[in-house]
A = this chain, B = another copy of it.
Amino acid sequence: MGVKVDDRAQLGATGAAKAPRTARGERTMRKILDAAREEFGERGFAESSIVGITQRAGVALGTFYTYFQSKEGLFQALVHDMSEQVRDTVGPVLGEGVDGLDSERRALAAFLRFAREHRDIYRIIDESEFVDPTAYREHYETTASRIAARLRSAREKGEIDSGFSDKDVDVLAWGMMGANVFIGLRFAVWDDADSEQVAAIMSRVWRQGFGA
């Protein structure tokens, strides 16, 4: 949870955050980041205030500006961090499937479990479309192109209908991603349905839809 040490230099480079130089500073920055995730997740960007975040974190108002340039800067740092968390959670299960399409089924189930446990993260990434559009685009473009790459590789192995061109696969990837996101919103964030069961339904559709 939270920003990993290696990332801080990068966050600093984007201008969103200023790296702490001591262990104490590091702890403080972490406290602010964690408090911000809660606050933004519960109240949304507009309703959240720096006062609220620093109070939650148990630090003074002014301390905030030691580590972040602005409220937007903080949000940006947060989105970058969470975008990675989603991938770090979903990524590892991809190798476990018996074939490419089975891996996608597992990935969706993992994503649904993750969404249910981290509704706040889900909401923050969604809200980035309006607070930090670049981060939003980057997140979904990266995600879609990874899906597309996996589908193409499955196609080479003969697991996917070879009638789908590279361009077709891009459309498929965005379609799958969109389906996953909306299903996550409806059946994990709003409700909590059985992740495995929901993933199985869609998996069946994809397998028949473009499996070889």
Contact = CB atoms under 8 A, between A and B. Distances in A.
A98 interface: no
Copies of this chain assembled into the complex: 2
Interface stretch (A12-20, A21-29, A76-84, A122-130): A122-130
Nearest to A137: B190
Contact of A179 (B140, B175, B187, B190): B175
A171 B198 CA distance: 7
Contacts of A140: 182, 186
A175 B168 contact: no
A95 interface: no
A199 B111 CA distance: 26
> How big is the A interface, by class?
35 or more
A183 B137 CA distance: 13
B175 A183 contact: yes
Contact of A174 (B174, B183, B210): B183
B182 A177 contact: yes
A35 interface: no
A204 B168 CA distance: 11
Contacts of A171: 183, 187, 198, 201-202
